[in-house]
Amino acid sequence: MLRATLNEAAHRVATIRDKVEFLGPTLARLTLASVFIGTGWGKLNNIGSTIEYFTSLHIPAAGFNARLAAGTEFVGGVLLLLGLFTRVAALPMAFTMVIAILTAKRDELEGVRALLGFEEWTYIVLFVWLALAGPGPLSLDALWARLRDRHRSPAPSLPEPALRPQT
């Protein structure tokens, strides 16, 4: 009796989990997109200030790298919002956060505990997760995959015509 009750409960939990599992990647994408579209747009629209800040951090080729970081954040954020090329877009965005930690946060980096407390670290973890797990079913990537699979599947075969006996 107890075993049947536990099995039924496990089945119900699994059913609920299957219905809401799309939420993880969708919420991660939307959260990251809302942050990085804003920061990228801000950097692009105040590129002079961004270059000055990068220069103060002693980042080489500050003008180029400021534009690269701003473009990566903005375009990557838009791609994440759409769920388009998610796995590819997540990697340079994660790299941008690694650089942010190594430059802007270097003085605050006093060990693993401090690293794990940085919001940039949280972004890196989410980017790596999206790169590995994908964007989820509510994305243009998933729609594209469904359409691609539909076009690749063989057309239903027609029945072969019956052969007439030769006389």
Instruction: List, as one string, the DSSP characters of 105-123.
Output: TGGG--SHHHHHH-HHHHH
pLDDT at 14: 85
pLDDT of residue 157: 62
What is the tens place of the pLDDT at every residue in 98-145? Answer: 999 999 999 999 999 999 999 999 999 999 999 999 999 999 999 999
Q: Is there a domain that residue 148 lies in? A: no
What pLDDT shows up at residue 117?
96
Q: Is 167 part of a structural domain of the chain?
A: no
Low-confidence spans in the chain with pLDDT less than 70:
153-167
- The answer to whether residue 62 is domain-embedded is yes
Q: Is residue 98 domain-resident?
A: yes
Answer whether residue 150 is part of any domain. no
Q: Based on the structure, what is the number of domains in the chain?
A: 1
Cα–Cα–Cα angle for 24, 32, 44, rounded to 5 degrees: 165
Residue 160: inside a domain, yes or no?
A: no
**Chain-centre distance for alpha carbon 149:** 22
Is residue 87 one of the residues assigned to a domain?
A: yes
pLDDT at 167: 59
The domain containing residue 70 runs over which residues? 21-141
> Is position 163 within any domain?
no
Predicted local confidence at residue 156, as pLDDT: 58
